[in-house]
Amino acid sequence: MLTLYGHPLSSYTQKVLIALYELGTDFEFRHIDLGDEGDRALMRSVEPMGRMPALREGDLVLSQSSLMIEWLDRHHPGPQRLLDPDPDASLPARQWDRFLDFQVMQMMQQIVDARIFMAEGAEERVAPFARGKLDLAYAALDRHLDGRDWIAGGFGLADCAAMPALFYAGAIHPFADHPRLTGYFERLVARPSVQRVIEGARPFYGWFPFKDGIAARFL
- The reported pLDDT for the residue numbered 214 is 60
Q: Of 137, 204, 145, 202, which is closest to residue 170 (Cα–Cα)?
A: 137
Low-confidence ranges of the chain (pLDDT < 50): none
Q: What is the DSSP secondary-structure string of 139-189? A: HHHHHHTTT-SSSSSSS-HHHHHHHHHHHHHHHHS--TT-HHHHHHHHHHH
- The reported pLDDT for the residue numbered 213 is 63
Order of strands, sheet of 54-57, starting from the edge strand that comes earlier in the sequence: 27-31, 2-6, 54-57, 60-62
Q: Tell me the pLDDT tens digit for each residue of 7-58.
A: 999 999 999 999 999 999 999 999 999 889 999 999 999 988 999 999 999 9
- The reported pLDDT for the residue numbered 10 is 95
- Report the alpha-carbon distance of residue 38 to residue 34 in Å, rounded: 9
Q: Model pTM?
A: 0.94
> Taking the CB of residue 130, how many other CB atoms lie within 10 A of it?
22
- The reported pLDDT for the residue numbered 218 is 74
What 3-state class would DSSP assign to 118? coil
